[in-house]
Amino acid sequence: MTEIDARLREEVHLLGELLGETIRAQHGEVFLAKIERIRKGAKTARRGSAAGAEQLASTLDGLAEDELLPVARAFNQFLNLANIAEQYHHIRRRRPDEAVPFESRVLPELLERLLADGHAPEALARQLGRLDIELVLTAHPTEVARRTLIQKYDAIAAQLAALDHADLSPAERERVRERLQRLIAEAWHTEEIRRSRPTPVDEAKWGFAVIEHSLWQAVPNFLRSVDAALQAASGLRLPLQAAPVRFASWMGGDRDGNPNVTARVTREVLLLARWMAADLYLRDVDELAAALSMQEASEELRVVVGVHPEPYRALLKQLRERLRATRAWAHAALDAEVAPGAEVLSDNRELLEPLELCYHSLHACGMGMIADGALLDCLRRAATFGLFLARLDIRQDAARHAAALSEITDYLGLGDYAEWDEDTRIAFLLRELDNRRPLLPAHFRTSADTAEVLATCRVVAAAPAAALGSYVISMAGAPSDVLAVQLLLKEAGLQRPIRVVPLFETLDDLDNAGPAIDRLLGLPGYRARLHGPQEVMIGYSDSAKDAGTTASAWAQYRAQEALVDICRSHQVELLLFHGRGGTVGRGGGPAHAAILSQPPGSVAGRFRTTEQGEMIRFKFGLPHLAEQNLKLYLAAVLEATLLPPPAPAPEWRALMDRLASDGVQGYRAVVREHPQFVAYFRQATPEQELARLPLGSRPAKRGQGGVESLRAIPWIFAWTQTRLMLPAWLGWERALGNALQRGEQALLAQMREDWPFFRTRIDMLEMVLTKADAEIAVLYDLRLVEKDLQPLGAHLRDLLSQACSVVLGLTGQTQLLAHSPETLESISVRNTYLDPLHLLQVELLARSRQSASPSDGPLEQALLVSVAGIAAGLRNTG
């Protein structure tokens, strides 16, 4: 097996050694020796040693009550440190003899291919400048690590970078080691688990911190590299105001099933974004005012500032005063309704124009080298982040809008909106949308739920257009769901367009997405209210929970195809919004491959997708990592736009229909139809205990009930902890197995070779099956599951084995991921530290369930730390 890169191995060893020294300082040599015995036992057990397995089990069994928490913490911290080393390894300095990483090559190589394919340089530059990619940061509760620990982990990564120089003197190297030791000690002595749930405002602040500490630096660097690649390929430059990638957020706007996100919270988050943006630009402008001390300026600039010995400073000081006024107003408005004064910046042109004036003046006066430094970076930040940092989306469940309208129609004596058929609803909504009078009298008194819906609409109406993204309707199913939101927003006083976006989530809704949008676009008056593209959100997580990933992936693909055709026939631009999670079971996977596997025509210069929870940190937590991932997004969207994949052949579609049909039957036969499934799930996984983990502001359930009431995240999270990974593969074993039995191997192989959609699905399936571990899952069953339910666990593990066999049969390999030995080795190394955590978690779950009242004591804390450690080791949770 290929070994991990020597430098990565050395860094993992160094961090582990420093963690060991920290543990020894607190708990002594004897305790550290126990940790080492557990680690060695797990390592040899993984290699098949019965003695190693016995050593591991006996050492863990012999732990005293007060040793459970520090042992769990030790393995959790090591896995986090391994993650840091691995993250840094992706962005480390490359030696002259090392290959340029894919992320750095992908755009230049693509531009060369496009030019060779006959694309004109001017058209390429124009398309690149017009790309509209929006990454929507969401606060789904899968980020296990606390913000204070994330900051320490980032600092550790910075010290690894400082160490990555061959010419360091021994004294310099020792100083870096001391700083690392200190940071690891700080992390060790910091609690891993929050004591209380974060509020939605806390989550929004976490999102702003990612922008401040990483993306603020990454975006201008990323755009410099894009500009350089374009110039090298075509001789042309990226337009000054080009912002091919922008950011939006759900943090503080996503109220679907989260009663903690209120109109007041949304207003506060919008103001905090303005405060943070003004503060960040103030830092930039202060630096620019210090640097731009030049005297020579263009006539255009002198007209604005008058006679002044330092014209650039004079102009920038005016901008600085307006930024200070904006920041002060936003701060004051947090506590009271305060109208912004004339000096408060409200339009992005007010920020861009003085910066552009300085830029063009410097170029005109022969000082282009100066203009293309920090000033260009500031201009590009202003084009990307604007005055509002990240546009805030609003999301609410369709049922909440329908309930509000039912209350309104009942009050008006018109009947119950909820009982009307779709035609009656549409007729009423269109009539009221065209009516100039208000729908509601001023004295109308609503229930608390309806009052909150209307208050949210008023916040949307009052906010500047550039502060908001889209209004997303979850569980949408019909045109009336869109019209209902438009009417409620009109009633709140909204007098400008906003994208109202239906989110199609379940299998039935995805199949109905095309007809629903077709009817919507054909309604009289709707097109007049549609400014810009028709945005439609495709749900990945709930469709997978509903039908399994085989059927849901194909339904998502077919829904996109239908929407492309329908919008083309209506001559309306389509913007697809992909609601992906972090894991395979929620549509996760490498972004570059995922984008290139979309249906032809579905990525036409526009792409919108969610980035969630811990994936935000793994992709964008460090500036260089963020640059790499932004390059991947941009290159993939450009390629999918100009070199779209082929449409699937008819025989591929027919086989995919059969696979989806078999897949959904296999999935639902277990999840919906097996009478013992819910009881088994609750006993075999830590699903009940996850509800006590204070991860996010949102409840784990939408309401009372079984699996159907669970949100997709805890559903995935629970199976990940036991390593069965069931939601990501269940159904594929029947689908692929039946296809192989029918003699369709050659057709499957052709699809995998020539169809990016199918190849990406199989690659993701292979990855998740490699992370699954039936032997670990057995441990949970034997200790936690009642005897009469254990045969179901054995059946599920048999299905897992079948899934592995059919994938190997399809790929022709003897081992999963044999084509990626580095990934296999990485998983193998992590298993040495994951195995003790799994064994410990099983015992802690058993003890916790036997306890009359789980408390905040060491046992409960150790259990939650084991959850966090396993999540860190597997690198994705929900």
Active site residue ranges: 140, 545
CA distance 716 to 404: 32
CA distance 664 to 419: 31
Nearest partner of 603 among 557, 570, 571, judged by Cα: 557
Helices (H), 164-261: 170-188, 200-210, 216-234
Count of all residues that appear for the chain in the document: 878
Query: What does the buried/exposed string (b/e) look like for 418-427 if buried means 16 or more CB atoms within 10 Å of the residue's CB?
Result: eebeeeebbe
Q: Return the SS3 of 813.
A: coil
CA distance 388 to 330: 11
Nearest partner of 182 among 392, 18, 330, judged by Cα: 18
75 contact partners, CB below 8 Å, separation of at least 6: 35, 38, 833, 834, 836, 837, 840, 869
DSSP string, 301-344: HHHHH-S-SSHHHHHHHHHHHHHHHHHHHHHHHTTS--PPPTTS
With beta carbons less than 8 A apart as the criterion, state whether 667 and 733 touch.
Answer: no
Q: What are the C-alpha distances in Å from 461 to residues 386, 455, 541?
A: 20, 10, 30
CA distance 552 to 761: 11
Nearest partner of 709 among 722, 724, 691, 726, judged by Cα: 691
Instruction: Give the CA dihedral 859, 863, 868, 872, nearest 10 degrees.
Output: 110
Longest dimension (CA), the chain: 89
Map tokens 């779709």 to a residue. 422
Long-range pairs of 743-750 with CB within 8 A, sequence gap ≥ 24:
744/655, 745/809, 745/810, 747/651, 747/652, 747/655, 748/655, 748/810, 749/810, 750/652
Q: How many CB atoms lie within 10 A of CB 230?
A: 22
Would you give the end-to-end CA distance of the chain in angstroms? Answer: 30
Nearest partner of 366 among 444, 307, 308, 298, judged by Cα: 298
DSSP string, 332-358: HHTTS--PPPTTS--SHHHHHHHHHHH
Query: What does the buried/exposed string (b/e) look like for 185-221 if buried means 16 or more CB atoms within 10 Å of the residue's CB?
Result: bbbbeeebbbeebbbbbbbbbbbbebbbbbbbbbbbb
CA distance 787 to 783: 10
Residue 863 in tokens: 């259990």
Nearest partner of 183 among 17, 9, 13, 22, judged by Cα: 22
Measured over the CA atoms of residue 722, residue 727, residue 729 and residue 735, the dihedral's sign is: positive
Q: How many CB atoms lie within 10 A of CB 44?
A: 18
With beta carbons less than 8 A apart as the criterion, state whether 874 and 834 touch.
Answer: yes
Phi, psi of 220 (to 5 degrees): -65, -35
With beta carbons less than 8 A apart as the criterion, state whether 873 and 837 touch.
Answer: yes
Map tokens 């190297």 to a residue. 173
